[in-house]
Amino acid sequence: MFGIADFNRQVMENPELLAAILEDEEEEYSYCCISPQDYFDDGGAWFGDLMFFFAGIFMWFLGAVFGAAERLCAWLQGRE
């Protein structure tokens, strides 16, 4: 069984071992700081955001057109 005492002894005998372990941990946990550049370089995820944006504008436009048509029909029928 590998215990703390064994680990300490191995590190004391071979200091490069600790440096290698710490270097591996830095690489393994380097994802914690994600920059905006990483987001835009991920292979096209921005495309979905762009389509969602334009779909929102299109839905707003459809609501405005149908709302205006409803008001126009109500005005022509004399309900408003």
Q: Are residues 48 and 28 in the same domain?
A: no
Report whether 76 contacts 69 (CB < 8 A): no
- Domain of residue 16 covers 1-33
Q: Max Cα separation, the chain?
A: 95
Q: Are residues 71 and 54 in the same domain?
A: yes
Domain count, the chain: 2
pLDDT in tens, 47-58: 778 888 899 999
pLDDT in tens, 11-43: 788 878 777 777 765 555 555 555 555 555 556
Report whether 41 contacts 48 (CB < 8 A): no
Q: Are residues 24 and 48 in the same domain?
A: no
Angle at 25 between CA 19 and CA 26, to 5 degrees: 90
DSSP state of 27: H
- pTM of the model as a whole: 0.40
